Each structure stands twice: as structure tokens, then as C-alpha cells.
Amino acid sequence: MATPTKFLMVSYSGSVGKTVAALHLLYPRVPGAKFIALETINQSASDLGLAEVEKMQGKKVRELLEHLVLEDAAIVDVGASNIEQFFAEMTRFHGATDEFDLVVVPVCPDDKSWQEGLKTVESLLQIGVEADRIRILPNKIKEDPREEIPQVFEYAKKKKIPMNPDAFIFESEVYGYLAHHKMSFRDLIGDNRDYRAEAKAATDPAERSKLARLHSWTSQAKPVQANLDVAFDALVG
């Protein structure tokens, strides 16, 4: 498979970190990607701080396909409130699923999440997405996804869906911090400022506290970003 440039992020289950994964895992590592959100109710990437998000409804598949034809790279994030309609509409267009290089289905360790994730995969297979273009992405993992959701790895093996055990996202409160401040990892750590030294040199107590807090969050964000680097390579490799 050539280097993937067009991704579909989808799941029947809400609250699995789908938009967070699309925004923080995929978007920074797919050069020039257009971010398209099919969402009418829940949080989208624009709510998390991404300025350039194209929003549309799940029923607008013709409009989506026209966008994809014109884009060299794209990330399409389908909200749980739009997925049923999206799948139904996709079947009306010959070869519609071929517009995506990879389809990513996030799952979390709780039973409802991974079970609905596997239901999503079954639907993808039914509408014509080949198994080798599907990626199941464990999210909110504490240590080892193979131990926390072994059923998913067993299912992937049975269905011949590629599943690299390094392609997962650790649970971290960093994502909540970035969402609250509508920041990216680049916003937080991209300039490599030495917040520790700045905090020690500052004289104003409030500024010292602010800089010390930024040092703490930056220190926590760096290994999380490293996890995302490894996860992306494992996901697309």
C-alpha cells in the first residue's frame, strides 16, 4: 500500500476519543490534510481549537466525495450522530469507500466501546471496505492494549485486519488540558521554551505560577507526543 493520505475516522460508539485521535494523531502527521467533520450534535475538531474545519452532515456524501476528489490529503471525522446515515448514503455511490486509504475505528477497554467498535468494523466490511484498509485503534490505554482488550486482537486476527500492537493511544489528562485551552501539541511544546528556567527567573508570583504550570504540562505532553509518533507509524505501516 502506498503512503496513506486520506483517512476516515468512524465508530458507532461516542466518547471513544475519535475526534481527539483524528486531531492529535492524524492531522499533524498528514501534510496538507483537509479536515472534514461530519457532525451535527457532538464536539468536533473546531471545538478543540482547529480553525480550518469543513463541516457537513452525514447525508451529504455527494458533497463529501467531490471534496475528496479535489484534495490530495484529507481526514474525515464522522460523528456518532451521523454514522447510520453516512453508511446508508455511501452505499448509493459506486466505489465511494475507495476514496479512503485507511478507515480507523477507535475502541476503548470498556465492553460497550470495543463491542460497538467491532460492530462498526462489520458494517464497514458489509459496505465494501476491504479488511486490509481497516485499522482498529485502541485508545485510553493504561499499559498494554493486548491485555486490556484481548478480544479485539482476536477478532482482528480472525478477520485478517492488520493490527500492530504499537498502534494505540495511552490514556492521558494532557488531552483534556489541550481541549480546555484549544491547543495543539505544537502550541504547547513546539517552540521548546524552557518554562522551568523562566519560572525560576520570574519575579511576579502569578507569572511564576503560570510558567511553572506550563513546565509541568509540557513535561507531561512530550512523552504523550512520542506515543503518538510511534502509534502513527505503526498504524500506517
pLDDT of residue 46: 54
pLDDT average, residue stretch 114-140: 97
d(CA 164, CA 237): 9
Q: What is the pTM of this model?
A: 0.91
Within the chain, all domains assigned CATH 3.40.50.300 are found at 6-172
d(CA 232, CA 3): 12
The three grid cell numbers given for residue 122, joined into one nine-digit string: 462489520
Q: What is the CATH number of domain 6-172?
A: 3.40.50.300
Q: Could you give the 3-state DSSP secondary structure of residue 35?
A: strand
Burial 98-132 (b: 16+ CB within 10 A, else e): ebbbbbbbbbbbeeebbebbbebbebbeeeebeee
The three grid cell numbers given for residue 48, joined into one nine-digit string: 478543540
pLDDT of residue 53: 72
pLDDT of residue 80: 84
Nearest Cα to Cα of residue 75 among 118, 116, 107, 104: 104
d(CA 135, CA 9): 10
Cα 48–chain centre separation: 12
pLDDT of 44 > 80? The answer is: no
Share of the chain above pLDDT 70, in %: 93
